Chain A
């Protein structure tokens, strides 16, 4: 059987991105959408190749490159996760291209498209490196690769003042969080003399280590990662940036960036679990995130802002899994979150081009496009956590872990906020199915998006009934 070493995957994706950029530069005459299709095909090939990578064994004695980089099951799983996300985001971007064209007035209809399709590939490389990183230096570098490509993507339609505001906010706050990260790493390095997470764990197990200083470093790192995963109180940027950024980029931020953030969080917190304060701190963050995300989502009228607050709320549920340190539950939840969030965003992009981004623009969608309305229905009930959808099993595994560890506060807050969730997700269903509609014009859906949306619907329901494939993939 063909053997592929894990780092080759990232290199392949990197080369793909560069080739796309080159073609974009020199072949000016072609339809730029071809680039997107080429990128999707290339990423699909890499995705296929990931299934032939043999997971590397234990990391304890690794040296050289392998002390930075791990290719365990978890990292390969999340490499696949990043690739799938990027493929779906690229499909959404092809749908979004007409909007992009409008925001470059006075230029050719193709301008800006090439970079728009190439940048996500570099983000993808960053995400793939990030989930493999087991050394603070490497975490920092790959995090920067992700962040810098997002700086460009978020403010891509820069003629739009809301987008520009989002770009500035994201840039400033992201840079601030990076500063916290570096500062935290410096403290941890100062205390333990190590940047590798395994060696840090060994150092912390030694009672002679200054634990309070290490804790300070951990808290600073937590601030930076809290920014990435949109946990309260580092969530200030989320609604504005989600609303202002081009919608496919919002989807990418809310799925790819968050998932990688959680993988890093799990890896970084592992050594610090010996300190009892760590868990308490995360419990507090989780409770705050759950309450804030769900309550703030209640009055939202803009669909993108609603999804932004829902993204904060889901960070709260994921943090319950982090508190219990149940890697499988967190990973399954992230997969479910990928499916249902991308589904909602894919529908949103198509509807927003015809009507708008307000929830009231979804009024009577069931009449105008039964297919899109059904897709949104599945996305929303899955986000709310109705059985036979992936979202329910995600919540089930999370609550299972929490009950097992007797995290009473988290469980109570979690259940009450699920009730809130039902309210604001069903608000969208209400708009689609029983609000009267003034205009009945069909919404066109291209073949590729129809395929992608169908795949996401089937995935959501399939995993809600038969979760075993994902659970098997996560088995160590």
Chain B
């Protein structure tokens, strides 16, 4: 079944290139993939942390390389996200002027690549599938983009190519860091090796830094984010939806999948750096977002900014924060896809996305206004949307981390600053909404038509998923939490071996497994806590 989910879009893409009717085939493949993902969701057994639906084909016994796929809670929600956004993106891609076949094939290849990356248990294919999605992105922006498309296409391609080759180095180093006879690209094998403490602390620090840089580039972490807004602004709407919504989550997924379970020591070592950079995302990029004068650029920057929250959850490395990060990844993917879709429709109708030229569109396009409003409120993090659930878990998780009653720790300062990000995003999102949909309707926009009835289906799908998981985040948490609990408790065991701190105080390892979602720190200051 997992294989079907991966290869359905890819085979459809090949069929379209050969000559099948583009839109029908693409839509059918996207819907089929979505149905298959839903099937996986219903047959998924909650509460287990092992991979399910595992299939494996040996590729190279010499390298212990095999094409192994399967899903656990984390990868399943990412696959689900990818399939939902694919349906929406394909649905919104109507009336392509030239090379219609190639356009749909590229969209499906991005989707297949992303799903393949999320469902691969083998790191080699995890990497390869992501890279496979890179070339279609380049083509989509370069051929069908608008504005400064050529420069944007080059920038994204070279940036991401270098980023992913740095990632490749990190993965190779990870592969080599375990003893020769247990070397494997299989995540489960690496996990076992890490559990036995076979990855030395020194190696962990180096690998983590490489992963931080490479995933940072792919996810647009603060100093490496410059490719993102321009690319999203010039990409055709479906490409922006798929990339910002799904493909960019690959880096965060990789962090959750590799950095947390395999490199706890590396994470500890580089925490301060990561926190400073993610604050750059939230505060600096947030302020830059406020200054934007075009809707597409504003959305591009806002998607960069929201990555900061997810990184905060990952950096906190407690079960609450990490789970929140996973929820927010899902929620952000849906909300940004919705926003880009509506923005794309606006551009198609009005030919401009400059705030000063728009205004009052809600009067002529009520449905689009409503849908955009949902997207805006979700992005701000209003209760009722999945984003809220994710953000609040992240903030609680991060604030709790290393809490000392007398003074503020790094994480409390970071959380306090990050909370201002909510204010910043409220400012720019509401401002954008007011300038685009509220106010007086310009003369030239009186004739605009609202979204067609058929386009309301994907919008409903996206909003429905956002609300569904906004009201019932628990169903989500139940899927993801067992995995993270296993990851984090595996890290904790090596700490509990040494019961005494340097000054003789008894260190009480913080129990993780028993308290469900109880917020837990990583144990930065466990000595002090136990002393009290």
Q: Is B one of A's binding partners?
A: yes
- What A residues does B59 contact at CB under 8 A? 465-468
Interface residues of B in 136-174 (CB under 8 A from A): 138-139, 142-143, 150, 154, 157-158, 161-162, 165-166, 168-169, 172-173
Do B172 and A415 have beta carbons less than 8 Å apart?
no
A295 in contact (CB, < 8 A): no
Interface residue A419 (Cβ < 8 Å from any Cβ of B): yes
Q: Is B181 an interface residue (CB 8 A)?
A: no
Is B487 an interface position by the 8 A CB rule? no
CA gap between A392 and B127 in the complex, in Å: 11
B-side contacts of A471, CB under 8 Å: 60, 62
Stretch at the interface among A167-175, A193-201, A233-241, A397-405: A397-405
Q: Once the chains bind, are A386 and B102 in contact (CB under 8 Å)?
A: no
A411, B135: Cβ atoms under 8 Å? no
Interface hit among A77-85, A104-112, A154-162, A422-430:
A422-430
Dominant secondary structure at the B interface: helix
A434 at the interface (CB under 8 A from B): yes
Taking a contact as CB atoms under 8 Å apart, the answer to whether A400 and B158 are in contact is no
Q: Is B48's CB within 8 Å of the partner chain A?
A: no
In the bound complex, how far is the Cα of B102 from the Cα of A403, in angstroms? Answer: 38
Give A401's nearest chain B residue, CB to CB: B172
User: Chain A contacts of B173 at CB under 8 A?
Assistant: 403
CB distance from B52 to the nearest CB of A (A): 25
Complex Cα spacing A387 to B122, Å:
14
Q: Are B158's CB and A422's CB within 8 A?
A: yes
In the complex, the chain B residue whose C-beta lies closest to that of A414 is B165
Say yes or no: B157 contacts A426, CB within 8 Å: yes
**What secondary structure prevails in chain A residues at the interface with B?**
helix
**B351: interface (CB < 8 Å):** no
Query: What's the Cα separation between A386 and B130 when bound, in Å?
Result: 10
Interface status of A416 (Cβ within 8 A of chain B) = yes
Nearest neighbor of B176 in chain A, beta-carbon distance: A404
- Chain A neighbourhood of B13, CB < 8 A: none
5 CB < 8 A contacts A-B: A403-B169, A423-B154, A434-B142, A467-B60, A468-B61
Contact of B165 among A404, A418, A423, A434 (CB under 8 A): A418
Counting contact residues on chain B (CB < 8 A from A), the size range is 20 to 34
Indicate if the CB atoms of A419 and B60 lie closer than 8 Å.
no
Q: Is the CB of B166 within 8 A of A387?
A: no
Residue from B139, B143, B157, B166 in contact with A415 in the complex, judged by beta carbons closer than 8 Å: B166
Closest to B98 in A: A434
User: Does B128 have its Cβ within 8 Å of any Cβ on chain A?
Assistant: yes
Q: Which of A121-165 contact B (CB under 8 A)?
A: none
Interface residues as binary, A388-412 with B (CB distance below 8 Å gives 1, 0 otherwise): 1000100010011001100000010
Among candidates A392, A419, A426, residue contacting B138 with C-beta atoms closer than 8 Å: A426
Q: List, in ascending order, chain B residues with CB within 8 A of A466's CB.
A: 59-60
Residue of A nearest to B58 (CB): A468
- In the complex, A96 has a CB within 8 A of chain B: no
By beta carbon, the residue of chain B nearest A387 is: B128
Is residue A381 within 8 Å, beta carbon to beta carbon, of the partner chain?
yes
Complexed CA–CA distance, A467 and B166 (Å)? 23
Please tell me which one of the listed residues A381, A386, A387, A400 contacts residue B172 in the complex, with CB atoms under 8 A apart: A400
**B162 contacts A415, C-beta separation under 8 Å:** yes
For B158, the chain A residues whose CB sits under 8 A away are 419, 422-423
Q: Which of A399, A419, A423, A429 is close to B168, meaning CB atoms less than 8 Å apart?
A: A399
Q: How far is the CA of A419 from the CA of B166 in the complex (A)?
A: 10
At the interface, yes or no: A433 with Cβ under 8 Å from chain B? yes
Q: Which of B67-124 contact A (CB under 8 A)?
A: 99, 102
The answer on a CB contact under 8 Å between B161 and A403 is: no
Indicate with 1 or 0, residue by residue over B39-64, a CB within 8 angstroms of chain A CB atoms. Answer: 00000000000000000000111100
